[in-house]
Amino acid sequence: MVGWGHASENPKLGDLLTQKSAELGRDITFVGPQSSVMRILGDKIGANLVAQSAGVSVPPWNGDGLPADLDENNRIPQSNFDAACITTEDEAVEAAERVGYPVMLKASEGGGGKGIRMAEDELALRAAWPQVLNEVPGSPVFLVTLCKGARHLEVQVMSDGENAIALGGRDCSTQRRYQKIFEEGPPIVADNDIFVDMMKAACSLCKTLNYKSAG
């Protein structure tokens, strides 16, 4: 296995296991997403860039329309990634005026409620800027429109790097402090046609990254 718990989201572990298998001279296949995939999809900015490049719908954000341009190692060029980052308070205000309030200001490496603030107007956004930076020091920052009344629905996928299939999904909307409490399957809150489109989008994303795993 690539990992369990928090380690399952750490691409360095996958790199280490691959290195050790080469040193031992053994042909070992690790179950889990490739490290390159974890690096991209584990980062919120990178995930948005790859998703919109794959034709997957994403909410309006400061990086609308920017390409991922993945290289042969499934990495986003640094210049592309930097173009999707907000580096100053004034840039955040400019982006919010373009996508429209209310917005969410987010640290790309944040999670569990850290590095995320809602802003209804410019005054609130300027107040949120230092809070987000201080909660996740050194993290890139981006801004996205607030989706009100949203549900957290996930698609289950299986892919061998060439072929990807969707195996239904689950509703993970019941949360406390941005952490899931329980998950329900199948997700019946969305119309079937909508969820079918979601499954197609998930498969498209898998193929873009040559994803090899269950996820």
What pLDDT digit, counting tens, does each position of 110-142 carry?
887 889 999 999 999 999 999 999 999 999 999
**φ, ψ of residue 63 in degrees (nearest 5):** -100, 20
Least confident of 18-27, 167-176, 187-196: 18-27
Report the SS3 class of residue 47: helix
Q: Position of tokens 């499954």?
A: 199
Instruction: Evaluate if residue 27 carries a pLDDT over 60.
Output: yes
Instruction: Evaluate if residue 3 carries a pLDDT over 80.
Output: no
What pLDDT digit, counting tens, does each position of 153-179 carry?
999 999 988 899 999 999 999 988 777
Q: What DSSP string describes 53-104? A: HTT-----BTTTT------TTS---HHHHHHT---SHHHHHHHHHHH-SSEE
Q: What DSSP string describes 148-199? A: TT---EEEEEEEESS-EEEEEEEE---EETTEE---BSS--SS-HHHHHHHH
What pLDDT digit, counting tens, does each position of 31-79 carry?
677 888 888 888 899 999 999 999 999 999 999 999 999 998 888 999 9
- Residue 99's pLDDT band (cuts 50, 70, 90): very high
Question: Sheet of 103-111: strands edge to edge?
Answer: 114-119, 103-111, 141-145
pTM of the model: 0.85
Instruction: Evaluate if residue 2 carries a pLDDT over 70.
Output: no
Task: Tell me the two tokens of residue 66.
Answer: 């920017």
Task: Report the C-alpha gap between 60 and 201 in whole angstroms.
Answer: 17
Q: Output 90 or 37, whichever has higher pLDDT.
A: 90
Q: Output 88 or 20, whichever has higher pLDDT.
A: 88
- Burial (Cβ within 10 Å: 0-12, 13-18, ≥19) of residue 143: buried
Residue 177: per-residue pLDDT: 78
DSSP conformation class of 115: E
143, 99 Cβ separation under 8 angstroms: yes
164, 208 Cβ separation under 8 angstroms: no
Task: Report the C-alpha gap between 170 and 151 in whole angstroms.
Answer: 11
